[in-house]
Amino acid sequence: MNNIQSNTANHSQSSSPRPGEKPKTGMNKEIQLFGSSKAKTFSTKESIQFYRGIASMIKAQINTADALKYYAEGLPNKIMAAALMGIRDDINAGISVYEAFKRSKRFDDMTLGLIKAGMDSGRLDAAFQDLSERAKSTLALKKKIRKIVLIPALIFPILIAAFVYSQVKIIPKIKEMVIVGDYEPKGPVRFFFTLSDFVISWWIVGVIALAIIIAIPVLSNKIRQIIITLVMSKWRTLRKLIMGLRQVTFLGVIKLLHANGINLAKAITTSATSVKGTPLHDELLMAAEKYEKAGVPLSIAFTKYTSVDDQVVHMLSIGEKSASMGSQLAMLTEMYESDCEQLMEDFTNVLNLVVMLVATSMIALVFLGVFMPIFLMGPEMMDQR
């Protein structure tokens, strides 16, 4: 346990500040350079490598300050290296590992909570290993979501641009070519010419309106949540997928924190940060408060104050009654991860079908708008004669 104690408390007394001298703060160099107190978090891939490396060194009985130094030396990402050396300086100045990581402003509350749990339980290496597994799962989920969004994000702008171009540039030339003498287009030909005139008059307004419609949910979390809630109420698969992802996220965090000796109320409160920006965030905070301060049983608190599935409430109730909360949380996390994978596949298949139908419709509209007037012009002119 010597290495654990050195990691969490006084492993670097020799670097304590002299009397009358202000302690080092280890402020990140890049923060000072740009004059901002707010720093961006590391990428998920960088975080995975960092957590694994630190975990292995701490497990090998290297104290945290030295582990940070060894990892930062020669690191290609100089900003990350400076941030880690800043944390190392703070630790050497007598600041706890948790406070040093917190002061760096490079880690979210969930990560900090797990680091503190590792310190309190004397298992800091296990905490960093758990963080690496957590980050790995997050990265895999991001890749799946990116794969779902990528195809529509690439195809639709191209199709919209092709449609606008055909209506504004190509069809007017066809119109000039086919309308001769007293010929008046009818039927489908008239429809496509009228559509072209409409697009020519309004396409700029339409593109701006479409950009605003897309930008508002992206920039406003409140509007985004309203839209998501509305779509979830109409699309069962999407509702189950989003709720499953939210639940597996906070259940996984609670499992990690509980396994590292953090009490359930604190674990639930910390796990709420992993679903921040969703209705579940405030619900979890309320459930944790009622469980801790009002003495409400955990299952009742989740039933009354959250929108989690009945299965979650049932298994938490079993864990509470049988003192097997760790096992129940592990089982729930594994179950929801499996369910989410299946739901993600179902959602991807449906979305791909929708994308294919919309893309086919737009391509057909462009094709018909360009060629149908030419094909139908002759028969219509003959009918008018």
End position of a domain, from candidates 136, 167, 199: 136
Higher pLDDT, 123 or 300: 300
The residue segments making up the domain with residue 48 are 44-136
Contact 169, 372 (CB under 8 A): no
Cα–Cα distance, 115 to 20 (Å, whole number)? 31
For residue 57, being part of any structural domain is answered with: yes
| N-terminal to C-terminal alpha carbon distance within the chain | 101
Residue 15: what are its φ and ψ, rounded to 5°?
-100, 10
Residue 252 sits in the same domain as residue 302: yes
What b/e readout covers 90-122, taking b as 16+ CB neighbours within 10 angstroms?
Answer: bbbbbbbbbbbbbbbebbeebbbbbbbbbbebb
Q: In total, how many domains does the chain have? A: 2
Over the stretch 97-133, which tens digit does the pLDDT of each residue have? 989 998 988 888 778 877 887 787 778 888 888 888 8
End position of a domain, from candidates 118, 136, 154: 136
Q: How confident is the model at residue 35 (pLDDT cuts 50, 70, 90)?
A: very low
Q: State the chain's mean pLDDT as an integer.
A: 80
Q: Calculate the alpha carbon distances from 223 to 190, 241, 358 in Å.
A: 40, 20, 25
End position of a domain, from candidates 77, 112, 136: 136
- Model-level pTM? 0.65
Instruction: State residue 24's pLDDT score.
Output: 41
Radius of gyration of the chain (CA): 29
What b/e readout covers 31-40, taking b as 16+ CB neighbours within 10 angstroms?
Answer: beeeeeeebe
CATH number at residue 49: 1.20.81.30
